[in-house]
Structure 1
Amino acid sequence: MSKYRRYERYKDSGVEWIGEIPEHWEVKKLKHISNITMGQSPKSEECSLDEIGLPFLQGNAEFTSLHPIPKMYCNTANKFSKINDILLSVRAPVGAMNISDRVYGIGRGLCAVTANKVQVRYLWYSMNVSLEELFIKSKGSTFEAVTVTDVNNLLSILPPKKEQIAIANFLDQKTTEIDGLIADKEKLIELLQEKRQAIISEAVTKGLNPNVRMKDSGIEWIGEIPEHWRLSKIKYESLINNRTLSESTDDDYEIDYIDISSVTSIGKIDGIQSLIFKGAPSRARRILSKGDTIVSTVRTYLKAIAFIENAQSNLICSTGFAVLTPLSKVVPKYLFYLMRSEKYINEIVCRSVGVSYPAVNASDIGALECALPDRDEQMYIVEYLDNCITQINELVNDIEAQINKLKEYRQSLISEAVTGKIDVRNYAVG
């Protein structure tokens, strides 16, 4: 921030996290510079089933509506937001914010902040900084929440109106520039992930020799395969759900547990839980071994498919996975790459049944056809893919680190501007 000048004179704000502010600025509570409307969810009979009324927002400040609420209810209860109100989530996730783009009925998880003695765009940025105070105050056993008092007492640093507009204009421009850089980098990550998926799919369905003779597999969704590859089925090349934790397991037995949510869409295991058997979910039953591949059989669109690189004896996964333990003719990691290829992911999703929680049986996965080279070629393909994926992952990690730095800089710039640590009154907005 050294390229931006400071104000000439400062004073102590009296608030530790704010520190010094320009001498002519003030610190005000949110309730003194805005009108705050806490939401209230109507009863089901007060919802409109004929889709006449106001769209209704429940609790995360996202513009997704439930049954519309009749205007009569909203006008009587006064539980609605107006255009340009700041929508603030007061229940998990506490602090999510948005700008109301129309009139909405709002539920108890939201409040609407109507700027009164402050410029609304400046207030938006100011609240982005003071939200840390809300996070500290949020509490609850089932889900975190803050009270109307917490919101009312949220602090805002208040410069004169002309400076509010100047700061808002400055931050609009700067955050737009930063957001554009972040979007470009996120797009690059998306392209790299698509490339990673394409490399995997090509290698395990066509091999690595572009000049190899091909033949029709006779299976529509697999298509052509190298002439020397053999056809089989997953159930003939691996054991499926081979080992299960007994119901008579000691209550105090410690397990490391992998749930569906622990596996990312790119196959990374993130968030293993340490539990005792007595306190573990009833679905924590599949015993895992090194070299297993786990394939989600529920919510298959999540692409929760992972390879067990190393496994201690107490590594357990949910019964929502099919555990594939490869037999002798299959290289363990080759089976993982096969299941992560686009054709297999798509086929599993296509065979899933159900709308909200589409699922397949482990037997459906076992029935999937597969085309396999010999073990030596499998090992060669795995080595090739490991090298390619490592390079791509390193690039992705570098770009993610750049994105995090940009986000940190963005937040720091907002904080410095709205607390007066930098003077942007004469900054030329392009």
Structure 2
Amino acid sequence: MKVFHVNQGNLHETYVTVPPCDVQRRIVSYLDERCAAIDDDVKKRQKVIERLKEYKKSLIAHAVTKGLDPTAEMKDSDIKWVDQIPSNWQTSKLKALFQITKRIAGVEGLTVLSITQDGIRPKDFSTGKGQFAETYSHYQLVHPGDFAMNHMDLLTGWVDISRYEGVTSPDYRVFSARDLAVSNPSYYLYLFQMCYLNRVFFGSANGVADKGRMRLQTNAFNNFVVPLPPLEEQKRIAAYLDERCVAIDEAISRQEQLIEKLGEYRKSVIHHAVTGKIDCTEA
């Protein structure tokens, strides 16, 4: 990859416009005022994004642990990270609901899947970023509908349901629902991702948090206790969160797009001011 830079010789030979000092002062005053206003707008939109993300987290956490009926009778959950659950819900260890699989591919040529915080994606080899293996035949198979989880690093790891046929690192955890008449994958995906975002898994993990190595070992995963709503209620919760989260994500995306446009506008204001294309005499 070619890296471009400005050396001292290039800098000395560069020509710049030099307006009169009083004009320079007016330009600086103009840009101070305009850039401050733009920066203030950006900060406000960043705060809106932060509030939307926090709202999304709390919305998911409440739905997957308390359900959708605000009048529902509650009971003690006997789960250390949930105080109460609806009285018609049960609880279960994950090993009763999900089965860990370890199917080694044994061949090359399959799509290599990465588990990112944007979900499970085919690995992009063109960027040259990330780790590469000499062979991928020892990677484990992932089928569409399987959960794949980076349990090796609970700080930056993630869990998702794969939409792809492929392979992923043998160090990751691949698992699937034992009985779809008991557990709805979409509901439990929201619950698992909430456990990452709110660091719920930390209570059952091993490692050193400040070194980024909190791991959820197999035994801890199997014995992790979760709410078990009736199946139809799981489906309703998942459908509700699908709709609400899409709306929140779209609101976040709009704010991010506006921030990007404000950044471009800020650059154009500076460019036009320092090159004399804006009259700054009234600044």
TM-score, length of structure 1 as denominator length: 0.57
Q: How many residues are treated as equivalent by the alignment?
A: 271
Larger Rg: 1
1:129-208 matches, cutoff 5 A: 140=2, 144=3, 146=5, 148-149=7-8, 152=11, 155=14, 157-160=16-19, 161-208=21-68
State the partner residue of 1:327: 178
1:269 to 2:98 alignment: no
Alignment RMSD (CA, Å): 2.8
Of residues 213, 217, 242, the one that matches 1:358 is 213
In 2, Cα distance between the equivalents of 1:242 and 1:330? Answer: 21
Contact 1:283 1:319 in 2 (8 A): no
State the partner residue of 1:52: none
Give how far 1:345 is off. Answer: 4.0
Measured at CA, do residues 427 and 295 of structure 1 come closer, stay the same or move farther in structure 2, by a change above 3 Å?
farther
State the partner residue of 1:347: 200
State the partner residue of 1:213: 73
In 1, Cα distance between the equivalents of 2:230 and 2:18? Answer: 73
The gaps in structure 2 that reach 5 residues or longer are none
State the partner residue of 2:263: 407
Give how far 1:423 is off. Answer: 2.6
Q: What percent identity do the matched residue pairs reach?
A: 25
Measured at CA, do residues 397 and 227 of structure 1 come closer, stay the same or move farther in structure 2, by a change above 3 Å?
same
Give how far 1:321 is off. Answer: 3.6
1:50-129 matches, cutoff 5 A: none
Measured at CA, do residues 406 and 229 of structure 1 come closer, stay the same or move farther in structure 2, by a change above 3 Å?
same
1:230-241 matches, cutoff 5 A: 230-241=90-101
In 2, Cα distance between the equivalents of 1:405 and 1:154? Answer: 33
In 2, Cα distance between the equivalents of 1:145 and 1:280? Answer: 27
State the partner residue of 2:236: 380
In 1, Cα distance between the equivalents of 2:274 and 2:72? Answer: 64
Give how far 1:198 is off. Answer: 0.9
State the partner residue of 2:254: 398
Contact 2:113 2:168 in 1 (8 A): yes
In 2, Cα distance between the equivalents of 1:324 and 1:317? Answer: 12
Give how far 1:362 is off. Answer: 4.0
Aligned to 1:157, what secondary structure does the other structure show?
A: coil
Aligned to 1:341, what secondary structure does the other structure show?
A: helix
Worse-matched range after superposition: 206-215 or 359-368: 359-368
Aligned to 1:365, what secondary structure does the other structure show?
A: helix
Measured at CA, do residues 419 and 198 of structure 1 come closer, stay the same or move farther in structure 2, by a change above 3 Å?
same
Contact 1:240 1:324 in 2 (8 A): yes
Q: Deviations over 1:97-122 (max 9, x none)?
A: xxxxxxxxxxxxxxxxxxxxxxxxxx
Matched AA of 2:249: N
1:302 to 2:156 alignment: yes
In 2, Cα distance between the equivalents of 1:317 and 1:334? Answer: 23
Higher helix proportion (structure 1 or 2): 2
Aligned to 2:99, what secondary structure does the other structure show?
A: strand
In 1, Cα distance between the equivalents of 2:15 and 2:147? Answer: 52
Matched AA of 1:148: N
In 2, Cα distance between the equivalents of 1:163 and 1:183? Answer: 30
Give how far 1:197 is off. Answer: 0.9
The gaps in structure 1 that reach 5 residues or longer are 1-138
State the partner residue of 1:39: none
State the partner residue of 1:3: none
